Amino acid sequence: MKRMYTTLFVLFAALVIAGTVFAKTNFISIGTGGTGGVYYPYGGGVAEIWSKHVKDVKAVAEVTGASVENIKLAHKGETVIGEVMGDVAQAAYNGVDAFKDKKQNILSMAAMYPNLLHVVALKKSGITNIEQISSRSISSGSPGSGTNFMAEAVLKALNIPLTSFKDSRLSFTETANALRDGTIDIGIWSVGPSTSSILDLATTHDITILGFTPEQTKKILAAQATYAGVDLSGGIYKGVDTNVPTIGVWNVIICQASLDTELVYQLSKALFENVDYLKKIHPSASYTTPENTVKYSPIPLHPGTIKYIKEKGIAVPENMMP
């Protein structure tokens, strides 16, 4: 009898261990950007939400080269989630521009917030118009970033040759340091205001943020349908007291199109229902809503996101269906 109980105990222990070993944990890597922008802290907040509120999920935010790289990483399966500018997501989904003839295996999970183009120079440089860029040293954002993608799209729309200036293609933090040190004349960011690297620069140096003229804005919007003319509000950055007319584009969270519907449903639900936590990390998270996702996503939504949005009683238009 003692041997039988011993045998049963061993079998029970084995079953418990097996259940522990084989319990499936979904490890989710979120492609963000550099530490000097909004993507990284925002993505860190999303990772915390998912790890805390979605059963059997462990999420982590990864420092990356941002939008273009994030899409390529998700497409290849090296990550499953990426924070991406809308114009880059649309190009990737359709297989054009940086993704020519290589459609990426992605869908949209959520609209995040609108990015605004910040074209920054030091006041002492005397630069007042982006068309003064010729023969200058600049940083249009790190290679593979949405900032670099957008900067080049804007310059091309304005008929400014990309060979007419020296481009260092630095990260946000490196761009701010290069402006501070005088090694570049103009730095470009595409970010949700405010962003820490520009805030820090403005505390030590007088900066100017170059606005676009109505004629320049018209040319840019004619070339890029995903862009919009918007104002960067005065008072956000020290010394920039009046509104600056610039260009905006929405950011989205993209995911692998092949991700399980129920998993994406649970991730979407946790994200949208814990936005108050994200807003404590950055106020731009107030734009992260199901309504904005339906309205501003540049590519179709994942079926898991659609399931959650429909549960909330929000209609999903045909062009958002995968």
pLDDT tens-digit map of 184-226: 999 999 999 999 999 999 999 999 999 999 999 999 999 998 9
* CA gap 144, 93 in Å, rounded: 16
The answer to whether position 9 is within a domain reads no
147, 90: one domain: no
The answer to whether position 8 is within a domain reads no
Number of structural domains the chain divides into = 2
CA distance to 14, 53, 153, 253, 261, per residue, from 147 (Å): 53, 32, 10, 16, 31
Q: Which residues of 108-131 are buried (b: 16+ CB within 10 A; e: fewer)?
A: bbbbbbbbbbbbbbbeeeebeebe
120, 245: one domain: yes
271, 294: one domain: yes
Residue closest to 157 by CA, chosen among 230, 100, 103, 229: 229
**Residue spans of alpha helices (H) in 124-234:** 146-157, 172-181, 196-204, 214-223
Give the pLDDT score at 321. Answer: 97
168, 239: one domain: yes
43, 107: one domain: yes
The answer to whether position 1 is within a domain reads no
Give the pLDDT score at 18. Answer: 44
Give the pLDDT score at 9. Answer: 44
294, 306: one domain: yes
Give the pLDDT score at 11. Answer: 44
* CA gap 164, 149 in Å, rounded: 17
Residue closest to 88 by CA, chosen among 166, 161, 31, 169: 31
Give the pLDDT score at 147. Answer: 96
One-character DSSP codes across 21-77: HH---EEEEEE---TTSSHHHHHHHHHHHHHHHSTTEEEEEE--S-HHHHHHHHHHT
Tell me which residue range forms the domain holding 29.
25-112+252-320
242, 261: one domain: no
Give the pLDDT score at 145. Answer: 94
CATH of the domain at 187: 3.40.190.10
278, 240: one domain: no
The answer to whether position 41 is within a domain reads yes
The answer to whether position 62 is within a domain reads yes
- 301 forms beta bridges with 108
Q: Look up residue 161 and give its two tokens.
A: 């040759």
The answer to whether position 2 is within a domain reads no
Residue closest to 211 by CA, chosen among 118, 134, 115, 126: 118
One-character DSSP codes across 78-145: S-SEEEEEHHHHHHHHHT-GGGTT----EEEEEEEEEEEEEEEEEGGG---SGGGGTT-EEE---TT-
256, 243: one domain: no
Flag residues of the chain having pLDDT under 70.
1-23
The answer to whether position 13 is within a domain reads no
108, 256: one domain: yes
The answer to whether position 5 is within a domain reads no
32, 70: one domain: yes
99, 135: one domain: no
Give the pLDDT score at 4. Answer: 43
Give the pLDDT score at 5. Answer: 41
Give the pLDDT score at 23. Answer: 57
